[in-house]
Amino acid sequence: MACGLVWAGGAGAQSATPPLVYPDELLPTRMVLCQREVGAVERDRKGKLRTCLARRLEGERIVERNCKRQAGGVSGVAARTQAQRDCERQALAVPSTELPRRPPPPPRPRPAADAVTDAKPSVSTPQPAAGEQ
């Protein structure tokens, strides 16, 4: 009975997702974070890594901008830099699906029916070259 509880406890600990950023570790590269996030998935690993990298690139840009804005109120160059690094580290230590994303672009306006009929290509007659009349 005790062996069954130990086995069940060990299985539960293995299924827990490991952290993307470990304490006292410098912020890993985008690729390392995505590799940790995807893990040892055999099926479509390449596609999942590509999606993760694209999301992280977009999220990093937004996070950097937001953290720079937040750290702007801190006085002192070293303190401001440290505040920005801490903000970025905390914001990027989440799975790529939780990173901020840009809003979708606004839809393009459709041309009016009048503009389509008026925009006929004009046929120009060829003009003689200079001095050729």
Domain ranges of the chain: 30-93
Closest CA to 89 of 20, 37, 31, 32: 20
Place of tokens 């989440």: 94
- Cα–Cα distance between 70 and 75 in angstroms, integer? 12
- pTM listed for this prediction: 0.61
**pLDDT one digit per residue (tens) for the chain, 133 residues:** 444 434 344 444 444 566 788 888 888 899 999 988 888 777 888 899 999 999 999 999 999 999 999 998 888 999 999 999 999 999 999 998 899 998 888 888 887 765 555 555 566 777 777 776 6
